[in-house]
Amino acid sequence: MSVALGGALTFTMVQAPSAIAAAPDAKQYHDALTLRDRWEYLTRDVAFPASWLADTHDFTFRKTVAGGFAFVRENADTGKSEAAFDQAVVAVELSKATDKHYTALRLPFSDFTYSDDGKAILFDIHYDPWRCSLTGGGCAAVEEKDRPRGFGVVRDLRVPANNTPHVSPDGKWEALVQGFNLVIRPVGGGPVKILSRDGTQGDFYDPETLHWAPDSRKIVIDRVRPGFARYVTRVLSSPKDRLQPEIRKQLYPKPGDAIDLDQPVLFHVAPDGTSSQIDISNALFPNPYQLTDMHWRADSATLAFEYTRRGHQQARIIAVNADTGNARAVVSESAKTFIWQDRGYWHDVHNDGKELIWLSERDGWAHLYLYNGVTGKVENKITKGDWPVRQVIRVDDDKRQIWFAAGGMNKGEDPYFVHYYRINFDGTGLTPLTPVRADHDVSFSSDGKYYVDTYSRVDLPNIAELHRADGSLVRTIAKGDISRLTAAGYKFPQPFVAKGRDGKTNIWGLIVKPQHFDPHKKYPVIENIYAGPHDSFVPKTFWPFGYHSGGDKVIGMQELADMGFIVVQIDGMGTANRSKAFQDVAWKNLEDSGFPDRILWHKAAAAKFPWYDISHGVGIYGGSAGGQSTVSGLLFHPDFYKVGVAYAGCYDNRMDKISWNEQWLGWPVDDSYLRASDVVNASRLKGRLLMIFGEQDSNVDPSSSLQLVNALIKAHKDFDLLEVPGGEHTTGRSTGPVYYAERRQFAFFVRYLKGEATPDWNALPDDVPADGTLPGE
């Protein structure tokens, strides 16, 4: 049937699959949208991962208490526990500095570090760095001195560089860049000695890449040929301090752009300051995307760095003879698809160049290898098996032992659960450290004597334990109490596993039901999607609140479920933390988004659970890469996905950041970018689409959303759009007008997936605030 809105606009309702509860009214929307506010502070002693203070046996952590969160500092030796800092004082001073109201137990950050002198704490508020004095000096935003790097691959000479002099290890010289060239001068004053004369604006020496050798007789520094400094320009339509719009610009390189080319240059410096310059041939590291971890070996005879070739299909460890400048590839790794830059690892054993540890997926799984640094040959494989190393935590060169995290080693267990292990360099002595069947987060003290293990599952509240290095338990630090939360109605989500497209691989997901679930009724299904190849996203830990990069956590799914839906999240093929082949599905194939696996998972759930109703199509929503996948579901699988709400999507990967997109779609830009583009394929749209984005999105160019709007209009496609003035990347999900945007999302699914009417919000009583918030907010 068709229903008129405002006399002119009409929409068509689908027929509800089964008679269930009456259409939700304004109170039901309010109860759903404020669920996290009412439930988040009901838990007690839910502890979050710990951080150790360097060179001490003190650690800090955050835990839930009545009314909010407390930051705790504890000593491993004595068990003494105290407040990490005076939260009440910080709340007062931070409120003054931000002109916002904060309370002691609800500070706007979840992690902090102490300043070097211990007299202040440092933290981020929405990615902006802040500092609060602990001795009465108040709070202030921290001015970042480093110039923006455009995601690490482009510099802009118009932005002042951080040119703080680098003092030599013997304390006699300081090196810096003047007029694009490298110079040195005596510490304490004296004549400047020019080391290079070939630096120009188009080929300059970068002071941020300068490294003295330990013997104070050599310097390595990058000479940089600048790439294209692309800027995204945004219009702030509604500034708080003036009427007229404001123009904002951001350095933002995109796929295919010319990037900075770094060339390391070696300088020999005599005791009197005279010098010689040695250019290092780049034959072994041509066309670099990045040169990282540049460092001198302990004897000053060699410098080493990691090279990632543009396109992410080759990586090398390069060692350079400091006397001759001759370079050699100690390790050379190539892949037909991609080498995952962010999950790579290498370690110079004793920093003497004789041995190194390298992580590779060459056998189909992420594993560690011990290399002979002189011959470049593999001495032995350290880890092995059909499971991936997830992270290296600690290496003890003297004991020749490695502590690492891995998933999937325990048969019959969720392969995404992270466990921790110790192993010897030769591959012997594999020792599990975290036997509890759960997802673990472990942090070690600087000396390796202790570690804190924080573990949980979606059905097991957080437990934090202090252990000795041998794994023995010292004491339980905190054990989460959720009795108040369960009394309020919280129920654990339900894991579900089904076979993927190959008929063999297990695909893991999570099902969230309404609070007042009735197994005798049928419920439409909505998928919360995030399919980025850079991680897996289905929650494995307990904490259900808040927002993370993979989309809604469990509480957001619960809020939507309470509108009369089943809400699910799935990790299909193309995501990470399984085998190399599992993740490789995404290579030049982002439009896939794991949909063949996801659809089979839905069908398996529908076959098992009579209340799981996909007979009239499935809803889908997500943000960022999940926004792109949401639209892709409607474009490429319109017979299955019928209604979608897309937040801040990168709808054409050519419009998005270079770092993420060239990693998965490669370089040069080819037709794989076009195949994945929702903009290029906009004419395929069927079903109902609501797009939501912020005009000040600094993560994904807002023009990406508007270009999709343009393409849909040209294709004569109907859709709904909400652009939030001043909104950032997470607008409507964790910042900005959360309730308004989520209300629009909920109403969209109620209207088009359940076929039910929604409240007339414009006809609510006059006491409802004009800013769009809900009654009682």
Model confidence at 365: pLDDT above 80: yes
Higher-pLDDT residue of 267 and 17 is: 267
What are the residue ranges of helices labelled H in 445-567?
Answer: 483-487, 554-561
pLDDT digits (tens, 9 = 90+) for 81-103: 999 999 999 999 999 999 999 99
Find the angle CA(530)-CA(68)-CA(118) to the nearest 5 degrees.
Answer: 95
pLDDT digits (tens, 9 = 90+) for 338-361: 999 889 999 999 999 999 999 999
Please tell me the distance from the alpha carbon of residue 48 to that of residue 453, in angstroms, as a whole number: 10
Model confidence at 697: pLDDT above 70: yes
Higher-pLDDT residue of 96 and 775 is: 96
pLDDT digits (tens, 9 = 90+) for 721-756: 999 999 999 888 876 677 899 999 999 999 999 999
* % the chain with pLDDT above 70: 93
pLDDT, mean of residues 403-432: 97
Question: 């939700």: which residue's tokens?
Answer: 24
Model confidence at 16: pLDDT above 50: no
Q: CB burial class (10 A; 0-12, 13-18, 19+) of residue 316? A: buried
pLDDT digits (tens, 9 = 90+) for 527-585: 999 999 999 999 999 999 965 445 568 999 999 999 999 999 999 999 999 999 999 99
pLDDT, mean of residues 423-437: 98
Please tell me the distance from the alpha carbon of residue 100 to that of residue 675, in angstroms, as a whole number: 46
pLDDT, mean of residues 609-631: 97
Model confidence at 192: pLDDT above 60: yes
pLDDT digits (tens, 9 = 90+) for 50-79: 999 999 999 999 999 999 999 999 999 999
Model confidence at 589: pLDDT above 80: yes
Distance of alpha carbon 53 from the chain centroid: 24
Please tell me the distance from the alpha carbon of residue 508 to that of residue 336, in angstroms, as a whole number: 27
One-letter amino acid at 458 equals V
Instruction: Please give, one letter per residue, the 3-state secondary structure of 370-416.
Output: EEECCCCCEEEECCCCCCCEEEEEEEECCCCEEEEEEECCCCCCCCC
Q: How many CA atoms lie within 13 A of 99 on its CB side?
A: 0
pLDDT at 737: 75
Distance of alpha carbon 265 from the chain centroid: 34
Task: Please count the other Cβ atoms lying within 10 Å of the Cβ belonging to residue 235.
Answer: 13
Q: CB burial class (10 A; 0-12, 13-18, 19+) of residue 99? A: exposed
Helices 554-561 and 26-33, packing angle to 10 deg: 170
Q: CB burial class (10 A; 0-12, 13-18, 19+) of residue 6? A: exposed
Task: Please count the other Cβ atoms lying within 10 Å of the Cβ belonging to residue 35.
Answer: 22
46 contacts: CB under 8 Å, gap ≥ 6 = 63, 64, 461, 462, 478, 480, 481, 482, 542, 543
Please tell me the distance from the alpha carbon of residue 440 to that of residue 434, in angstroms, as a whole number: 7
pLDDT at 377: 98
pLDDT digits (tens, 9 = 90+) for 234-282: 999 999 999 999 999 999 999 999 999 999 999 999 999 999 999 999 9
Q: How many CA atoms lie within 13 A of 587 on its CB side?
A: 16
pLDDT at 3: 35
pLDDT bucket at 763, cuts 50 / 70 / 90: confident
Q: CB burial class (10 A; 0-12, 13-18, 19+) of residue 224? A: buried
Instruction: Please give, one letter per residue, the 3-state secondary structure of 607-619.
Output: HHCCCEECCCCEE
Pairing of strands 473-479, 494-499: unpaired
Find the angle CA(727)-CA(729)-CA(731) to the nearest 5 degrees.
Answer: 50
Please tell me the distance from the alpha carbon of residue 490 to that of residue 478, in angstroms, as a whole number: 21
One-letter amino acid at 76 equals A
- Let me know: does 684 contact 591? Beta carbons within 8 Å: no
Question: 């799981």: which residue's tokens?
Answer: 612
- Let me know: does 292 contact 306? Beta carbons within 8 Å: yes
Question: 């046996």: which residue's tokens?
Answer: 57
Sorted by where each starts, the structural domains of the chain and their CATH numbers stand as: 2-40+484-763 (3.40.50.1820), 46-144 (no CATH)
pLDDT at 315: 98
Residue 777 host element (H or E) = none
Please tell me the distance from the alpha carbon of residue 288 to that of residue 116, in angstroms, as a whole number: 35
Residue 309 host element (H or E) = strand 302-309
Q: Is the N-terminal amide bond of 668 cis, ω within 30° of 0? A: yes
pLDDT at 127: 78
609 contacts: CB under 8 Å, gap ≥ 6 = none
pLDDT digits (tens, 9 = 90+) for 460-485: 999 999 999 999 999 999 999 999 99
Q: What is the mean pLDDT of the chain?
A: 93
Task: Give 565's strand partners.
Answer: none
Model confidence at 158: pLDDT above 70: no
Distance of alpha carbon 373 from the chain centroid: 33
Question: 């020749």: which residue's tokens?
Answer: 400
603 contacts: CB under 8 Å, gap ≥ 6 = 614
Distance of alpha carbon 541 from the chain centroid: 16
Helices 595-608 and 625-636, packing angle to 10 deg: 70
Backbone angles phi, psi at 483, to 5 degrees: -60, -40
- Let me know: does 700 contact 648? Beta carbons within 8 Å: yes
Give the residue among 577, 226, 585 at the shortest CA–CA distance from 409.
Answer: 577
Find the angle CA(312)-CA(313)-CA(317) to the nearest 5 degrees.
Answer: 85
pLDDT digits (tens, 9 = 90+) for 286-297: 999 999 999 999
- What single-letter DSSP state applies at residue 27? H
Model confidence at 8: pLDDT above 80: no
